[in-house]
Amino acid sequence: MELIDGNAIAATLIAELKATVAALPGRAPCLALVRVGEDPASVSYVRKKEKTAAELGVTSRVILPAITVTQAELEQLIDDLNADPAVDGILVQSPLPTHLDELAIFRRVDPAKDVDGFHTLNLGKIAQEDATGFVACTPAGIMELLTRSQVDLAGKHVVVLGRSLIVGKPVALLALQKKTGANATVTVCHSGTRDLSSITRLADVLIAAIGRAEFVTADMIKPGAVVIDVGINRVADASKKTGYRLTGDVHFPSVSPLCSKITPVPGGVGPMTVALLMHNTIKARRQRLGPTTR
């Protein structure tokens, strides 16, 4: 069994991106990070994105509207960022407070600045295999992990557990694409799937993204499969100082001995998400500069 080290692969990608930023003409790429409220996970994620941007030489502009911000006020803020020529990428940190329409806010972002890849147009570009679009960072990170771990999906059966717009649907579309590293046969499973284990046992590559701690067990795995665990779940653990431990959607102790390759949690898919956000921001800057820099 080989452990797919997301930290090491992300560090390699970050080093490559740093060289790309240094070679760009004019000002540095600029990423606007909009965070509403003090959700602890969101605060941590935005801080990590700021830190990585600084490491790369990417300018980050953190905007913190009041938690009482109205839908109209937040939409106006997005409109202003869309119109600002000094901003290349816009990320609105999820989740937003419940009084705000999150999907409407995501759709408000200019598709050319939508480095989170959640806009309808960018999701459609994945289906059309249009490389000018922006792919959501976690699915893009999964594909990068597979490629850099020498996992060629061509002709393989990929089973995706989960159908979210953030991971499941886009990663299924990416694996389907008629291009190098993809070309897979893809099955998407979800809460309505019958006899789930009989399908997951057919997977050459299993991508677990359902948000249920340690749901995938050894009886669901074909020996020799590649397993990508996207889940990050908090499980009570009295032996830990925090009172909890982080675990994925896969029961790692029982599943890992059966796999040819597997991602750990933490340290697998997670580090790639931030790296791909930076990749998308740099891509947005290059596309705005014109074809000579692409």
pLDDT digits (tens, 9 = 90+) for 151-169: 999 999 999 999 999 999 9
Structural domain count of the chain: 2
Whether 286 maps to a domain, the answer reads no
pLDDT digits (tens, 9 = 90+) for 40-62: 889 999 999 999 999 999 999 99
Q: What pLDDT, on a 0 to 100 scale, did the predictor assign at position 39? A: 87
Whether 192 maps to a domain, the answer reads yes
Whether residues 181 and 242 share a domain: the answer is: yes
CA distance 294 to 292: 6
Whether residues 249 and 145 share a domain: the answer is: yes
Active-site residue flag, 128: no
Whether residues 169 and 92 share a domain: the answer is: no
Strands (E), the chain: 2-3, 30-34, 59-63, 89-92, 157-161, 185-189, 205-208, 226-229, 233-236, 244-247, 261-262
Cα–Cα distances (Å) from 180 to 143, 172, 200, in that order, read 11, 15, 24
Whether residues 82 and 205 share a domain: the answer is: no
Pick the catalytic residue: 88, 116, 229, 249?
116
Whether 292 maps to a domain, the answer reads no
Active-site residue flag, 49: yes
Whether 232 maps to a domain, the answer reads yes
Give the DSSP letter of residue 111. Answer: G
Whether residues 58 and 143 share a domain: the answer is: no
Residues with Cβ within 8 Å of 195's Cβ and at least 6 positions away in sequence, in order, are none
CA distance 151 to 47: 32
* Residue 294 scores a pLDDT above 60: no
Give the global pTM.
Answer: 0.94
CA distance 215 to 223: 18
Q: What pLDDT, on a 0 to 100 scale, did the predictor assign at position 216? A: 98
Whether residues 87 and 146 share a domain: the answer is: no
Whether residues 151 and 212 share a domain: the answer is: yes
Active-site residue flag, 150: no
Q: What pLDDT, on a 0 to 100 scale, did the predictor assign at position 234? A: 87
Pick the catalytic residue: 5, 88, 93, 204?
93
Pick the catalytic residue: 49, 125, 261, 283?
49
CATH of the domain at 257: 3.40.50.720
For the chain, how are helix, strand and coil distributed in percent, rounded to 5?
A: 45, 15, 40
Query: Which structural domain range is residue 33 located in?
Result: 25-112
Q: Which residues pair with 160 in a beta bridge?
A: 188, 207
Strand order in the sheet with 30-34: 59-63, 30-34, 89-92
Whether residues 263 and 173 share a domain: the answer is: yes
Whether residues 106 and 180 share a domain: the answer is: no
CATH of the domain at 58: 3.40.50.10860
